[in-house]
Amino acid sequence: ACAAAVRRDFGRIALLINNAGIVSSFRRRSADGFELCFATNHLGPFLLTRLLLDRLSPAARIVNVASWMHVRGRLDLQSIDARRAPYSPTQAYAQSKLANVMFTFALARRLEGQDITVNCLHPGVVATNLLPRLLRAFYRLTGRAMIDAERGARTSLYLALAPEVAGMSGRYFDEQQRERAASALARDVQQQELLWEASERWTDLPPRP
Q: What is the pLDDT of residues 149-158, one digit of tens each?
A: 788 788 999 9
Give the integer Cα–Cα distance in Å for 163 and 178. 15
pLDDT at residue number 142: 45
Residue 123: CB partners within 8 Å, gap ≥ 6? 65, 67, 152, 153, 154, 155, 156, 175
Looking at residue 127, its pLDDT comes to 59
Task: Record the pTM.
Answer: 0.90
**What pLDDT score does 25 carry?**
84
Q: So what's the pLDDT on residue 101? A: 98
One DSSP character per residue, 46-65 reads: HHHHHHHGGGEEEEEEEEEE
Please identify which of the residues 87, 93, 158, 172 carries the catalytic annotation.
Answer: 93
* Residues in the chain where the model's pLDDT stays below 70: 126-145, 147, 208-209
158: annotated active-site residue: no
Tell me the pLDDT tens digit for each residue of 40-59: 999 999 999 999 999 999 99
Host H or E run for residue 45: helix 44-52
